Amino acid sequence: MTAFRFAAAAGLALTLLAGSAYAEPVTLTWWQMEQPPQRVKRIQELLDQFNKEHPDIQVKQEPQSWGDVYAKAPAAFAAGNGPDLLNSIPDFTTVIKKIGAVVPVDDLVKDLDAKHHFIKATLAPYQYDGHTWAVPAYNMALSMWYRKSMLKEAGLAVPKTWSEWKTAAQKLSGNGKYGIGLPANKQLYTDQTVYSFMVNDGAADIYNDDGSFRFDNPKTVAAYQTYADLQKLSPPDSPSWTWGEAEACFNSKGCGMVLQFTVISSYNAQAEGDAADLGVAAVPHADDEPQSATISYSNGIMITTKDKAKEKAAKVFLSWLLEPEHYGRFLNMEPGLFLPVTEDGAKADSFWNDPVTTKYKTQVETMIENSKAGKLFGFTTGKVFPSIGAISAQNVIAETLQHIVVDGQSAADAVKAGQARMTGIAGK
Amino acid sequence: MKNTALALVFVAPALLFLLAVLGWPLVQALVFSFQDIGIIGSKGHFVGFANYAEVLGGKHFWFAFGRSVVWVVGNAVVQTVLALGTALILNQKFPGLRVARVWVILTWIVPTVVVVIIWRWLLSTSGGMINPLLMESGIIDRPVGFFATRRSAMVTLILINSWRWFPFTALMMLAGLTRIPGDLYEAARIDGAGARRRFTRITWPLLQPTLIVLGIIGTLLSFNVFDVIWLMTAGGPSEATETLPVLIYETAFKGYRLSEAATISVLTSIILMGFAVFATRAMTASEANR
Amino acid sequence: MKRTVAQSLVLYAGLLVLVLIIGLPFWWVVTGSVKLPQEIIQRMPTMVPHSFTLKHFEKLLQSSDFPVYLVNSIVVALFSMVVTILLALPAAYAFFRMAFPGRDLFYRLILVAYAFPGIVILIPLYGLFARIGLVDSRASLVIVNVALALPFSIWMMRSFLGSVPREIEEAAVIDGAPAPTILLRILMPLIAPGIASVAIFAFISSWTEYLFASVLIVSDARRTIPVGFAGMIGQYQIDWGLLLAGATAATLPVVILFALIGRWFVSGLTEGAVK
């Protein structure tokens, strides 16, 4: 009798325990750096759906800005209140990896790759030191944007090589208009545009295999020289530009051509919005190079929790997010900007049924095509050296350009000083 | 004696509060400066004065210090001129004086981030008003890039920062002006002193204590201005606007060398403290003379 | 007081310049916020809007948590203001009206607080707040804002106290009133306008603070206006219309506030003096 009672009580207690274990969902905090309101809203819609479908997991987002996350995330991890999931770009991953906050996602990425087939260029910058450090989430690649009517009027074909490009930029200049809008700010945007010249001159690698620098070479110098020449045809305020100013210059017809990840949504809302007239092409290449390449930023999501249950939950969430039916909606948080990192994502209905993406279908297809030839400085050889974090964050590539454009140094001197600066940073 | 105890009770909360919030972190920064911490959150070892030797031996610190001096002096000159002019105007009687005295402060109550965005837009060549305005008034004949050369970048930043601060300074000066007894002016007028003479003999000397304090606090505050510069130029072009606070931020959060940043901070604090101690001595002297 | 024609000319010319320097940028921003996007980025800008739309404001209110930021900013600023006054008033009184050993030293120490770049204390302070569980709380911002506003507030308060004739106080002392009573019953009413000025100073310092708020606050629900606004700028793209609407909306609350109490700030500064 007593034994039965005891067993019954124990059984009840167990069910209660198990029940409460079920009732207590795993909560994941996700820091993502897509802070403009419409992006936050779209991500929230997806999270609401996920949380509803998975009662045992609750994912909540905390939008952060790229501007201060470099200070905030390390401080938060040091204080023990960092997030469980953290968005990243390759150079940021090296920083978070260095403080030991990232968990490798080798198996997860292998599974996802088998299912969805990652575009190789998006995965490569996160694979080094024997592991995969983030799950690629969306890609961005720089393209050249122009107006078809404007080129036609000037009797120009779409430039493919640097000499054609120079001619085009000169012909489009005049009458208070600028043939091309290239930034020269000490800022990430300029890093990107300058590097897109370097990759098109076969100067994609800035490191040797032993970790020393090969930035200072004739091809880099030629890329800087060409950039500086074209930059002279840009508006006078371009030394302080970020993406937004370049976009505005293009949309107001002040600039004939710009290098951008996208201009689609602003062109659609702030300019003519004529899809037939908006041209996009690969960044032109040096005359002696066979084809174009570009810079691409594969944005990834890192798992940054040491808790096993949370890690498991995070994997469930990331797998869910990359399912084609959800993934397209995720990318379209900013239609025409974020590109798929998976083969099936690039075909997903959920991606192509967005009205803006549909309207600019040919442009988006060109962007995806360009992104396949994308590279990122410091992540080109399969070997990654820790100093790339500080070199990216301090915009050494852009700074080198400023020495030419603002200080009037020769390209050779500036590049030489740039390499010295990189060596100095790596030595610390 | 009882009075002393009571005075300490009055002063203690404010003092202890400042010690806890400012003092403790400073000790921490001092500790960091003797270690070799890289990224925030990583461990460091004791390295003695190695960071100090490196910072003081390199050129970055000294260049940034030089720019900080230019920045502070530039701001002081522009703001004092604008603020004094404004204060003198607002000390006159004219229709709409009350409205003017309230709304002159408009630029100061706007958050810095907003100020930066406003000027980024106004100075751009797509939609910005400043270039067309200058062209129409014949000052320039083609659009210029305000942040395109080293000098113009610094000047533009000083003007933007002053734009935000001068009305506040002006009201502080106005407060000083209104404390000058009116009968002094009356007496001077009866003695036949003209406007200029009244200014140099009464206004200027009696405004001194206010000007000195505003000068000291203003110097310290503008020395430490970070957000306007960072959000506008990030220290560029070609480091032309990289003042000490910008260098500290960049070293800590972009170069991932926390200890070096702490070292620069400590050195900066020592310089400023030296200035403050020296200057507040002058201030207490001038206040005692009142 | 009679002005000569030349003096009047100088005065009104100065006023005009002042109005243009301060008013024009705001005019451009406010009118810009109701222009269509095409007109905002037009290469030849317009002084008076040729188009009118409220869609930037609609977007601002629909898709961002602007009202939440607004409430946070107001809450943080109000608390910062109250705490600043509570700490500054007795301290200033002691500094200016009481004799005690170390008075000058302490007074100087307080002003020297401004000698430290805010960035210096940012990281250690973050660690401190994390340890006591204050990261991502509005309380942490109040603490920082008070620390930043306090030294100047004490100085401001001190000069208001200085304008009260000593005789008034001495009479009270002879009557045997204790110091707290003197402060509360006699001085407070006299320097009320001064206190109002200091309060407004503390409020605005907190209202505009960006650096600490950007690092100490993590969740969207606790962001203040400057940080929320910075978030709208966005990497890769700028929506100028949205930003101009945001700038207008970020300015409007303090403009309303100043319309109501602005004259106290100025009169507190200027009329606190006993002529």
Complex-level ipTM: 0.86
Residue B36 lies in a domain: no
Residue B230 lies in a domain: yes
Within 8 A of C235 by CB-CB distance, chain B residues are: none
Judge whether residue C120 has pLDDT over 80.
Answer: no
pLDDT recorded at residue A19 = 44
Other CB atoms within a 10 A radius of the CB of residue A107 amount to 10
Helix (H, G, I), strand (E, B) or coil at B193: coil
B220/C115 Cα distance (integer angstroms): 6
Residue B88 lies in a domain: yes
Check CB contact under 8 Å for A254 and B148.
no
Question: pLDDT class for A9, splitting at 50, 70, 90?
Answer: low
The set of chains that have 3 or more CB pairs under 8 A with C is A, B
DSSP alpha helix (H) spans, chain C: 5-32, 37-40, 55-63, 66-97, 103-112, 118-131, 138-162, 166-174, 179-181, 188-208, 211-216, 225-233, 240-271
Cα dihedral value A387, A389, A395, A399, nearest 10: 0
A 34-73 residues with CB < 8 A to B? 70-71
Residues C47-102 have pLDDT tens digits of: 888 888 888 888 888 877 888 999 999 999 999 999 999 999 889 888 877 778 88
> Which chain B residue lies closest to A76 (C-alpha atoms)?
B41
Residue B264 lies in a domain: yes
Mutate to test the interface with B, among A66, A232, A237, A258 (most CBs of B within 10 A): A237
B 133-172 residues with CB < 8 A to A? 142-150, 153
Judge whether residue A16 has pLDDT over 50.
Answer: no
Mean pLDDT of A109-118: 94
Strands A255-260 and A143-147, by their bridges, are antiparallel
pLDDT recorded at residue C75 = 95
Phi, then psi, of C219 in degrees rounded to 5: -95, 150
- Tell me the shortest Cα–Cα distance from C145 to chain B, in angstroms: 10
Give CA angle at A64 (B263, B233), nearest 5°: 55
pLDDT recorded at residue A92 = 92
The percentage of residues in chain A with a pLDDT greater than 70, rounded to a whole number, is 95
Q: What class, spelled out in words, does domain A3-140+297-360 have in CATH?
A: alpha beta
- Tell me the shortest Cα–Cα distance from A163 to chain B, in angstroms: 26
DSSP at C133: T
Judge whether residue A127 has pLDDT over 90.
Answer: yes
> Which chain A residue lies closest to C241 (C-alpha atoms)?
A270
pLDDT recorded at residue A292 = 92
User: Which of A150-154, A355-359, A403-407, C6-10 has the weakest average pLDDT?
Assistant: C6-10
Residue A37 C-beta-side C-alpha neighbours within 13 Å = 19
Check CB contact under 8 Å for A41 and C237.
no
Among the partner residues A79, A242, A271, nearest to C126 by beta-carbon distance: A79
pLDDT recorded at residue A1 = 41
Token pair for residue C171? 């009479």
The length of chain C in residues reads 275
Q: Does the CB of A252 have a partner CB in chain C at under 8 Å?
A: yes
A235/A254 Cα distance (integer angstroms): 8
C70/B122 Cα distance (integer angstroms): 25
pLDDT recorded at residue A419 = 95
Could you check whether A3-140+297-360 and A141-295+374-426 share the same CATH topology?
A: yes
Within 8 A of C59 by CB-CB distance, chain A residues are: 37-38
**Higher pLDDT pick, A129 / C119:** A129
Check CB contact under 8 Å for B39 and A99.
yes
A292/A373 Cα distance (integer angstroms): 8
Q: Does the CB of B14 have a partner CB in chain C at under 8 Å?
A: yes
Within 8 A of C240 by CB-CB distance, chain A residues are: 244, 248
> Quick one: which of A234, A263, A241, A230 has its CA closest to A187?
A241
The percentage of residues in chain C with a pLDDT greater than 90, rounded to a whole number, is 18
Residues B129-155 have pLDDT tens digits of: 888 888 888 888 888 889 888 999 999
Judge whether residue B269 has pLDDT over 50.
Answer: yes
B140/C116 Cα distance (integer angstroms): 41
- Tell me the shortest Cα–Cα distance from B233 to chain A, in angstroms: 7
Check CB contact under 8 Å for C118 and B224.
yes
Cis check: omega of the bond before B237, within 30 degrees of 0: yes
pLDDT recorded at residue A15 = 47
Q: Does the CB of C41 have a partner CB in chain B at under 8 Å?
A: yes
Q: Does the CB of A95 have a partner CB in chain B at under 8 Å?
A: yes
Strands A178-181 and A255-260, by their bridges, are parallel
Based on the number of CB atoms within 10 Å of its own CB, is A81 exposed (0-12), middle (13-18) or buried (19 or more)?
A: middle
pLDDT recorded at residue C172 = 73
Check CB contact under 8 Å for B253 and A240.
no
Contact at 8 Å (CB) between B117 and C234?
no
pTM: 0.88
> Quick one: which of A45, A135, A50 has its CA closest to A86?
A135
B 198-237 residues with CB < 8 A to C? 213, 216-217, 220-221, 223-224, 226-227
Mean pLDDT of B227-255: 89
pLDDT recorded at residue A85 = 96
Contact at 8 Å (CB) between A289 and A202?
yes
Within 8 A of B121 by CB-CB distance, chain C residues are: 29, 32, 240, 243-244
Q: Across all residues in chain A, what is the average pLDDT?
A: 90
Check CB contact under 8 Å for C210 and B111.
yes
pLDDT recorded at residue B187 = 83
- The enclosing domain of B193 has a CATH number of 1.10.3720.10
A335/A355 Cα distance (integer angstroms): 9
- Gyration radius of chain C's alpha carbons: 23
pLDDT recorded at residue B287 = 58
Check CB contact under 8 Å for B255 and A249.
no
Give CA angle at B71 (B67, B75), nearest 5°: 170
Q: Structural domain of residue B224, as residue ranges?
A: 53-288
Check CB contact under 8 Å for C38 and A271.
yes
pLDDT recorded at residue C273 = 43
Residue B146 lies in a domain: yes
pLDDT recorded at residue C2 = 64
For A152, B200, B202, B203, C11, the CA distances from B195, given in Å and listed in that order, are 69, 9, 10, 10, 13
Check CB contact under 8 Å for A186 and B233.
yes
Mean pLDDT of B63-80: 94
Contact at 8 Å (CB) between A317 and A50?
yes
pLDDT recorded at residue B140 = 83
**Higher pLDDT pick, C129 / C117:** C129
Check CB contact under 8 Å for C41 and B8.
no
Cβ neighbours for C208, distance < 8 A, ≥ 6 positions apart: B109, B110, B111, B112, C226
Check CB contact under 8 Å for A36 and C237.
yes
Domain boundaries, chain A: 3-140+297-360, 141-295+374-426
Judge whether residue C136 has pLDDT over 80.
Answer: yes
Residue B243 lies in a domain: yes
pLDDT recorded at residue B284 = 66
**Higher pLDDT pick, B191 / A119:** A119
Judge whether residue A307 has pLDDT over 70.
Answer: yes
The percentage of residues in chain B with a pLDDT greater than 70, rounded to a whole number, is 97
For A17, A193, A280, B25, B197, the CA distances from A144, given in Å and listed in that order, are 60, 10, 6, 48, 66
Cβ neighbours for B35, distance < 8 A, ≥ 6 positions apart: B44, B45, B46, B47, B259
For chains A and C, count residue pairs whose Cβ atoms are closer than 8 Å: 105
Residue B21 lies in a domain: no
Question: pLDDT class for A24, splitting at 50, 70, 90?
Answer: confident
- Tell me the shortest Cα–Cα distance from A65 to chain B, in angstroms: 13
Three-class SS of chain A: CHHHHHHHHHHHHHHHHHHHHHHCCEEEEEEECCCCHHHHHHHHHHHHHHHHHCCCEEEEEEECCHHHHHHHHHHHHHHCCCCCEEEECHHHHHHHHHCCCCECCHHHHHHHHHHHCECHHHHHHHEECCEECCEEEEEEECEEEEEHHHHHHCCCCCCCEHHHHHHHHHHHCECCEEEEECCCCCCHHHHHHHHHHHHCCCCCCCECCCCCECCCCHHHHHHHHHHHHHHCCCCCCHHHCCHHHHHHHHHCCCEEEEEECCCHHHHHHHCCCCCCCEEEECCCECCCCCCCCEEEEEEEEEECCCCHHHHHHHHHHHHHHHCHHHHHHHHCCCCCCCECCEHHHHHCHHHHCCHHHHHCHHHHHHHHHHHCCEECCCCCCCCCCCCHHHHHHCCHHHHHHHHHHCCCCCHHHHHHHHHHHHHHHHHC
pLDDT recorded at residue B200 = 83
Residue B17 lies in a domain: no
pLDDT recorded at residue B2 = 58
Check CB contact under 8 Å for A35 and C234.
yes
> Which chain A residue lies closest to B253 (C-alpha atoms)?
A71
- Tell me the shortest Cα–Cα distance from A326 to chain B, in angstroms: 35
Token pair for residue A334? 């900013």
Domain count, chain B: 1
Check CB contact under 8 Å for B145 and A252.
no
For A217, A313, B52, B100, the CA distances from C123, given in Å and listed in that order, are 40, 31, 20, 41
Mean pLDDT of A248-262: 92
**Higher pLDDT pick, A37 / B239:** B239
Question: pLDDT class for A20, splitting at 50, 70, 90?
Answer: very low
The percentage of residues in chain A with a pLDDT greater than 90, rounded to a whole number, is 69
Judge whether residue A370 has pLDDT over 70.
Answer: yes
* Strand partners for B282: none
Token pair for residue A181? 């809008």
> Which chain A residue lies closest to B255 (C-alpha atoms)?
A390
pLDDT recorded at residue A26 = 92
Check CB contact under 8 Å for C124 and B13.
no
Contact at 8 Å (CB) between C149 and B214?
no
pLDDT recorded at residue B258 = 87
pLDDT recorded at residue B25 = 86
Q: What class, spelled out in words, does domain A141-295+374-426 have in CATH?
A: alpha beta
C206/C225 Cα distance (integer angstroms): 11
Other CB atoms within a 10 A radius of the CB of residue B117 amount to 25
Based on the number of CB atoms within 10 Å of its own CB, is A61 exposed (0-12), middle (13-18) or buried (19 or more)?
A: buried
> Which chain A residue lies closest to C228 (C-alpha atoms)?
A35
Q: Which amino acid appears at position C3 of this protein?
A: R
Give CA angle at C130 (C129, C131), nearest 5°: 90
Check CB contact under 8 Å for C250 and B89.
no
> Which chain A residue lies closest to C243 (C-alpha atoms)?
A36
User: Which of A198-212, A323-337, B41-55, B154-168 has the weakest average pLDDT?
Assistant: B41-55
Based on the number of CB atoms within 10 Å of its own CB, is B193 exposed (0-12), middle (13-18) or buried (19 or more)?
A: middle
- Tell me the shortest Cα–Cα distance from B238 to chain C, in angstroms: 22
Q: Does the CB of C159 have a partner CB in chain B at under 8 Å?
A: yes
Q: Does the CB of C66 have a partner CB in chain B at under 8 Å?
A: no
A417/A216 Cα distance (integer angstroms): 9
Mean pLDDT of C17-37: 88
